[in-house]
């Protein structure tokens, strides 16, 4: 299949931009990674006020998600792509959504099991797929031969799927507050198909990754039997 790389882990891009920024700086302080730290701080500010100020929470969360695109752009322009940054980006994405679901669970206790299922699918899918990609020696968790996943990981599709899903979560949060309920309800209905599409892709991604890892384990088992 065609090889693709994520914004944070493209060594070729890093070489092209290497002269634009002093690479002697510690990787910990590279601009894309600093953006990642800012994202984390913003989300936690929002979580702190989540039960009292929905505007602040929505604002900080949306800005944090918007910066998700900025760190990849900074990595390309400044030649500061790194494995540390790639992992930070992915973990921040997973953690921010999970924390928001914890808040949603407190606002909508009757949806607790549904929210837990969404978080579980998200975690399982991304980590199984990441590990399967590493076992295959691929450069990014976004590389796959499955037709649906190849379509899903096209940049415009991925952007719409991720942004739409995040807006669905945010709208669900805002809908709890009376002065935001009407607008939030419209956003919820508009983004629901996008959110469901992403869950289907997550499920397919999980299935593909499990198959790859099981095939790898079977090959290792057969090698061990032959060597015995």
Residues classed as catalytic: 93
Distance (Å, rounded) from C-alpha 174 to C-alpha 179? 9
User: Cβ of 140: how many Cβ atoms within 10 Å?
Assistant: 18
Assigned token pair, 226: 């032959």
Residues 6+ apart with CB under 8 A from 57: 46, 47, 49, 50, 173
- Distance (Å) of CA 67 to CA 40, 41, 70, 74, 166: 10, 12, 5, 10, 13
- H/E run at residue 118: helix 112-135
Q: Please, are residues 87 and 30 in contact by the beta-carbon 8 Å criterion? A: no
CA–CA separation, 19 and 71 (whole Å): 18
- DSSP secondary structure letters along 179-197: GGHHHHHHHHHHHHHHHHH
The DSSP string of 40-72 is HHHHHHHHHTTTT-HHHHHHHHHHHHHHHHHHH
DSSP 176: T
């Amino acid at each position: 299949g065609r090889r693709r790389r994520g914004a944070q882990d493209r060594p070729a891009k890093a070489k092209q931009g290497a002269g634009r920024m002093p690479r002697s700086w510690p990787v910990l302080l590279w601009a894309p990674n600093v953006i990642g730290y800012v994202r984390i701080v913003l989300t936690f500010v929002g979580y702190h006020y989540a039960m009292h100020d929905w505007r602040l929470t929505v604002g900080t969360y949306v800005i944090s998600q918007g910066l998700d695109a900025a760190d990849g752009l900074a990595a390309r322009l400044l030649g500061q792509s790194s494995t540390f940054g790639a992992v930070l980006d992915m973990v921040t994405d997973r953690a921010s959504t999970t924390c928001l679901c914890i808040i949603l669970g407190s606002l909508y206790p009757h949806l607790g099991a549904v929210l837990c299922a969404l978080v579980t699918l998200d975690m399982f899918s991304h980590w199984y797929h990441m590990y399967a990609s590493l076992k295959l020696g691929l450069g990014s968790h976004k590389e796959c031969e499955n037709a649906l996943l190849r379509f899903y990981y096209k940049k415009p599709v991925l952007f719409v799927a991720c942004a739409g899903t995040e807006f669905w979560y945010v709208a669900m949060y805002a809908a709890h507050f009376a002065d935001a309920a009407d607008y939030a309800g419209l956003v919820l209905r508009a983004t629901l198909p996008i959110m469901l599409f992403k869950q289907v892709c997550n499920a397919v991604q999980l299935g593909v990754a499990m198959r790859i890892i099981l095939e790898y384990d079977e090959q290792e088992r057969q090698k061990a039997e032959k060597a015995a």
